[in-house]
Amino acid sequence: QGLGLRRVFETGRTGRSEGPLNVAGTIRWFDHLLMPITDVQGTVTSVLGVSRDISDRRHDGNTIRQGEL
């Protein structure tokens, strides 16, 4: 996640990634969206991050794929 954050600051472009996180001893999958916030000159001054738990969606997709085999 740190590299994605650095990339958004360096490029000024929105970044997106997926990955697992340990939440209270359980592995959950998250979709991360990082959006640059710029000043009037266009310089990135901060980054807004939104993470969404997609564990159920990933589980459902894996179940469907296994059923197709």
CA 59, 23, 33, 10 torsion: positive or negative? Answer: negative
C-alpha separations of 44 from 4, 16, 17, 49 in Å: 14, 17, 20, 14
Gyration radius from the chain CA atoms: 16
What order do you get walking across the sheet with 26-38 strand by strand? 15-23, 26-38, 44-53
pLDDT of residue 65: 52
Predicted confidence (pLDDT) at residue 66 exceeds the cutoff of 60: no
Which domains occur in the chain, in start order? 2-68 (3.30.450.20)
| Structure confidence at residue 3 (pLDDT) | 75
- pLDDT tens, residue by residue, 11-61: 999 999 999 999 999 999 999 999 999 999 999 999 999 999 999 987 665
Model pTM? 0.73
pLDDT at 24: 96
Amino acid 58: pLDDT? 77
